Amino acid sequence: MNILFYGNTECAAKCIKWLLIRKHNVMGVMTRTPCVAEIAMHSNIPINPNPEKLDFDIILCVFYHKLIPIKYINRAKFAINFHGAKLPEYRGCLPTIWAIINGDKTTEITAHLLEKNFDTGDIIKVKEIPIEDDDTGEDLYEKIKWNVTDIFIDVVNLLEKNTILTTKQKDGGKYYSRKIPNDGFIDLNKSPKEIYNFIRALDHKEFEPAKLKLQNKIVYVRTTK
C-alpha cells in the first residue's frame, strides 16, 4: 500500500506513528498540526506535498479540516476517513461538543469511505465511546484520542487483507458547523440540565468556556469535579 495521509490533532499523530512503526509506506502527510508534521519530518516524509506528484493508492484521513478533492479520492483504491462521532447524526465539525450539548450517553468513532461531501460515505466500522454525566468536552476528546488508534489499526488490517466491507449510512442526518450556538453565551431560558450540558461541552482547552454577561461584564463558567 502506498498511503497518502491527511490528519490533524494528537489523534492523527498517534495513527501515523503506528503506520511508521509497522513500516507502512507513507508517501506524504497533509497536516496543519505541528506534532504530526514533526513525526513526518523525522521520517523524511514530505509534508503538505502536491498529491498530483505522488503515486498513492490509499488515502487515510484522521480529523482533517478540509474536504479532500474528489480527483484524489477517485485515484485511490480506498479513501477512508475517521470521524469522531456517530454518522449520519453528527456530520461536520465539533462533534464531541455537540454530542454533549445534546445530552447523548454515547458517541462513536466512525470509519467511512470518503466522498465529495463531508462525512457521507459508506461506513466500514464503528467504535462506541460512553459519555459520562460529568464528562467535559476535553474529557470526551481524550477518550476519542485514546481509542481512535484501535479502530484505525483494525481498518488498516482489513485493507492489508483486502476484506473491507461497507454499510450504507441511514437516511437523514445533520451537519454541524464550527459555530458554537449563541456565540458561547449560556441561555438562561434553557433547563438546568441543558445549561449544565452546554457548560461542560465547552469546557475544552481548544475553546473559550461558556459565558454569561452580568452587569456589562463577561463571566466565564467552567465545570468542577
Question: Are both 140 and 65 inside the same structural domain?
Answer: yes
Question: Are both 58 and 145 inside the same structural domain?
Answer: yes
Cell numbers representing residue 214 in the block: 452580568
Question: Are both 113 and 197 inside the same structural domain?
Answer: no
Question: Are both 10 and 80 inside the same structural domain?
Answer: yes
Question: Are both 62 and 161 inside the same structural domain?
Answer: yes
Place 48 in a pLDDT band, splitting at 50, 70 and 90: very high
Domain harbouring 31, CATH code: 3.40.50.170
Place 181 in a pLDDT band, splitting at 50, 70 and 90: confident
pLDDT above 70 for 122: yes
| Residue 29 bridge partners (DSSP) | 5, 47
pLDDT above 70 for 225: no
Mean pLDDT value across residues 85-103: 90
Number of domains in the chain: 2
Q: Which DSSP state fits 67? A: P
Question: Are both 169 and 194 inside the same structural domain?
Answer: no
Least confident of 74-78, 158-162, 176-180: 176-180
Question: Are both 144 and 191 inside the same structural domain?
Answer: no
What's the 3-state SS for the chain? CEEEEEECHHHHHHHHHHHHHCCCEEEEEECCCHHHHHHHHHCCCCECCCHHHCCCCEEEEECCCCCCCHHHHHHCCEEEEEECCCCCCCEECCHHHHHHHCCCCEEEEEEEECCCCCCCCCEEEEEEEECCCCCCHHHHHHHHHHHHHHHHHHHHHHHHHCCCCCECCCCCCCEECCCCHHHHECCCCCCHHHHHHHHHHCCCCCCCCEEEEECCEEEEECCCC
The SS3 call for residue 159 is helix
Mean pLDDT value across residues 117-141: 95
pLDDT above 70 for 76: yes
Question: Are both 135 and 198 inside the same structural domain?
Answer: no
pTM for the complete prediction?
0.91
Mean pLDDT value across residues 63-73: 94
The domain in which residue 205 lies consists of 181-221
Mean pLDDT value across residues 76-88: 96
Mean pLDDT value across residues 128-149: 94
Question: Are both 114 and 191 inside the same structural domain?
Answer: no
Strand locations in 16-144, DSSP E? 25-30, 58-62, 78-83, 91-92, 106-113, 123-130
Question: Are both 77 and 120 inside the same structural domain?
Answer: yes
Q: What percent of the chain has pLDDT over 90?
A: 83
pLDDT above 90 for 83: yes
Q: d(Cα 211, Cα 208) in Å, to the nearest integer?
A: 8
Question: Are both 67 and 172 inside the same structural domain?
Answer: yes
Question: Are both 97 and 185 inside the same structural domain?
Answer: no
